[in-house]
Chains A and B, each alone.
Chain A
C-alpha cells in the first residue's frame, strides 16, 4: 500500500473513533432516558434517533448539508460566531459518521439498560441514593458491557460510512477522503490495484472490531 493509502486508513480510523467518542455521552443519556423514563414525546424522539438507519444515507447527508452549510441554520451560526466551517472539511466526515452510527449506539445501550433489573435501582434509592448516584453506581456499571458493545458497533459503522459523508464532506484527497470514498473513487477510475488493498484493510479492521464487540457482549455479566 502507498503512503497515501495508509494516510486514508489512519484518517478513517481517527474520524470513526472521534465520532464514536463524541456520540457516547449523548447516546448513553438518550438510551437511558428511553429505557428508564416515561415522558411526553418519547416515541417521537425514539423515531427521530432511529431515522438514519432507514432514511437513505445520501438523504441524511443532504439534510446535514442544508443544516450545516454556510447558509444553513447551524452552519451560518458556527461560521459567523466561531469561525468554524463544517461542510467539506474533516469535521463534516466526523459529523456524518456520528449521525449515521448514533442509532446503533442508542439501540444497543437502550437494550443494555433495559436488561438491568429495576429492583437494583429501587433498592439503591431506599438506601439513600440520589437519581444521579443510582445511574452512576448501579445502572451504568451494570450496562457497561452493552454500552461498550454499542460503541464498538458505532465505530464499525463509522468505518464504513459512505453515503452521508460523500454529500456533506465530498471526496477531497488528504482532507476528507476515507477508505469507503477512496475505494469507490478508485473503482470508478479503474484503479482496482489501489482499491483492493484498501478493501482488505477495511474488512480486516471492521472484522476485528465487530468480533471484539461480540466477545464483549457475549461475556457473562452479573445481573
Chain B
C-alpha cells in the first residue's frame, strides 16, 4: 500500500495544513505537539475534511483531486479510522459494533471473519456485552477489531491509547502489531508518546503547525 499526498492544503483555524508526503511503510507514525494538525491530517485522509488544493492517491487510485473536484466519499475509500475517543456506538452491543462495517471477504478468506478477528483481539467472549460496560482496554480492542472487519486498505489510528495507563498500553501494543503482521493492514498511527513510536512504528513523520518538519526512523527522530 502507498498513500500519496501531493501539495495538499487544508486551512485550519490558526494555520493551514500543508502536506506533500508519501506513506508506504507498514506502520507510519505521526508525531507532534497538540494542535499540530495530526487529527486534521487523518480526517483529511479518511475523507472527513475536504482540502482546498492538492491530490490524494491511495495506491493507483486517486481519492481526492481538487483540480477536477474529485472527492471520493469516506464510505468508498476503504480507509478505516479509530479515533481518539474510539467512537464505539453506545447504543449497540459489541457484536453489532463489530459487524457495522463488515465487508464479507471476496475470496474464501477466513482471516477477516468475526470469529477469527474476535479470537486474535481476545474479545470473542464480549460479543453480547454493551460497549459502555467494557473496560478501557476491552474498548480499544473492540475498536481495533471493528476497523479490521471493515477490511480496509489502510487503518488510521488517532492516539487510540492516550487515555490508558502505561501498563495497559504495553499490553495493547502486541494487538496493534498483529494488525500489521496477521491481517497485513498498513497503519498510520498518531501519537505524542515517544515510547509508542519506538515500539510500533517503522517510520516517523513529525508535524508542527501543519507542516512536516522531520521524517525518519523512530531512533533518528527521537535522538
Chain A residues near B (Cβ < 8 Å): 117, 119-120, 122-130, 137-138, 141-142, 222-223
Offer 6 A-B interface pairs, CB within 8 angstroms, sorted by A: A119-B83, A119-B85, A124-B100, A126-B75, A126-B81, A129-B100
Contact between A129 and B101, CB atoms less than 8 A apart: yes
**Which one of B78, B81, B90, B150 lies within 8 Å of A222 (CB-CB)?**
B90
Contact between A125 and B73, CB atoms less than 8 A apart: yes
Per the bound structure, the CA–CA distance linking A127 and B78 in Å amounts to 8
**Which one of A123, A137, A141 lies within 8 Å of B87 (CB-CB)?**
A123
Top-5 shortest CB links A-B: A127-B101, A222-B90, A125-B74, A123-B87, A126-B81
Contact between A126 and B89, CB atoms less than 8 A apart: no
Q: Does B167 reach chain A (CB closer than 8 Å)?
A: no
Contact residues of A: prevailing secondary structure: helix
15 additional A-B pairs beyond A119-B83, A125-B73, beta carbons within 8 Å, are: A117-B85, A120-B89, A122-B83, A123-B83, A125-B47, A125-B48, A126-B48, A126-B79, A126-B81, A127-B75, A127-B101, A128-B101, A129-B75, A138-B89, A222-B132
Q: Does B141 reach chain A (CB closer than 8 Å)?
A: no
Per the bound structure, the CA–CA distance linking A123 and B74 in Å amounts to 9
CB within 8 Å of A: which B100-114 residues: 100-101, 103
Rounded to whole Å, the gap between the CB of B73 and the closest CB of chain A is: 7
Contact between B77 and A126, CB atoms less than 8 A apart: yes
Per the bound structure, the CA–CA distance linking A126 and B152 in Å amounts to 9
Q: Does B46 reach chain A (CB closer than 8 Å)?
A: yes
Q: Does B91 reach chain A (CB closer than 8 Å)?
A: yes
Q: Does B38 reach chain A (CB closer than 8 Å)?
A: no
Residue of A whose beta carbon sits closest to that of B143: A123
Q: Does B9 reach chain A (CB closer than 8 Å)?
A: no
CB within 8 Å of A: which B61-80 residues: 73-75, 77-80
Per the bound structure, the CA–CA distance linking A122 and B75 in Å amounts to 10
**Which one of A128, A141, A142 lies within 8 Å of B150 (CB-CB)?**
A128
Q: Does B146 reach chain A (CB closer than 8 Å)?
A: yes
Rounded to whole Å, the gap between the CB of A136 and the closest CB of chain B is: 12
Contact between B100 and A127, CB atoms less than 8 A apart: yes
Residue of B whose beta carbon sits closest to that of A138: B89
Rounded to whole Å, the gap between the CB of B41 and the closest CB of chain A is: 15
Contacts of B87 in A (CB 8 A): 117, 119-120, 122-123
Contact between A122 and B74, CB atoms less than 8 A apart: yes
Contacts of A127 in B (CB 8 A): 75, 80, 100-101, 146, 150
Per the bound structure, the CA–CA distance linking A129 and B89 in Å amounts to 13
Contacts of A125 in B (CB 8 A): 47-48, 73-75
Residue of A whose beta carbon sits closest to that of B78: A128
Give the residue among B48, B87, B101 with the most A Cβ atoms within 10 A.
B87
Contacts of B85 in A (CB 8 A): 117, 119
Per the bound structure, the CA–CA distance linking A124 and B80 in Å amounts to 10
**Which one of B48, B103, B132 lies within 8 Å of A122 (CB-CB)?**
B48
Residue of A whose beta carbon sits closest to that of B131: A222
